[in-house]
Amino acid sequence: MGNCRAASYKLAPMDWIQVKLKAGRIVPAMATTTASIAGLQTLELVKLMRTVKKEDHRNIFLNLAVPIMQASEPGNVEKVKLTDKIETTLWDRWEVEGKNLSLKDIIAKVEAKYEGLEVRDVLRGNAPLFFYAVLNAPGREKEKERTLKSTLSELLEGDLEEAGKDGKQYVDLTITCVVKGGADEIVDGVPPLRVTLS
């Protein structure tokens, strides 16, 4: 098996002794690295449990081959200002209840909850569910109305995320927004949207 892999990567074939020697060096290195990382993570976990200040936590860069270990204080998460009232971070996720609601109702809920923003596009992964520029083109009025009246279950044809710990079904969406009354420029930093369906 080892020689099959060696042939795939254009390496010289090895006999059993050579393989044992090389693999014998890898196992202690892996065990040492794993133990080091586990110890450092445990230290940070203890700090979390003791609710110490953020300045007392550390980010660690570790390279046992050199050997070097560099520690630095974690920085503040970057905040993005979407409107005068709405700030988000990389870690945020917006959530709305969308059981038996049409896409139009879900968009209205998002716009009501996050005042000052207007939803333009709704995507699931790379697949568009509602694409503003396309559906606002002349002659697409019926298709736009049909899409907006459909529920997420209908648009996704039942392909929903598995139920979470609380047994609720949900779907994670990507939305693009513009500032209401402003230029038609897409706002950067809009978090993903989780719509709970049950």
Judge whether residue 30 has pLDDT over 80. no
Residue 49 corresponds to which tokens in the numbers above? Answer: 């449990």
> What DSSP character marks residue 132?
H
Please check whether residue 99 is in contact with residue 105, taking contact to mean a CB–CB distance below 8 angstroms: no
Cβ neighbours of residue 142 under 8 Å, at least 6 residues apart? none
Which pLDDT value is given to residue 125? 85
Judge whether residue 192 has pLDDT over 90. yes
Residue with tokens 């044992």: 20
How far, in whole angstroms, is CA 6 from its chain's centroid? Answer: 37
Q: What percent of the chain has pLDDT over 70?
A: 90
Which pLDDT value is given to residue 16? 79
- Beta-sheet pairing, 87-89 with 94-97: unpaired
pLDDT in tens, 99-109: 888 999 999 99
| C-alpha–C-alpha distance, residues 95 and 7, integer Å | 51
- Beta-sheet pairing, 94-97 with 193-196: parallel
pLDDT in tens, 110-132: 999 999 999 999 999 888 899 98
Q: At what angle do helices 141-149 and 103-113 cross, to 10 degrees?
A: 70
pLDDT in tens, 40-77: 999 999 999 999 998 899 999 988 888 899 999 888 88
Residue 32 corresponds to which tokens in the numbers above? Answer: 């040492």
Domains and CATH numbers, the chain: 2-72 (no CATH), 79-196 (3.10.290.60)
> What DSSP character marks residue 38?
H
| C-alpha–C-alpha distance, residues 190 and 54, integer Å | 26
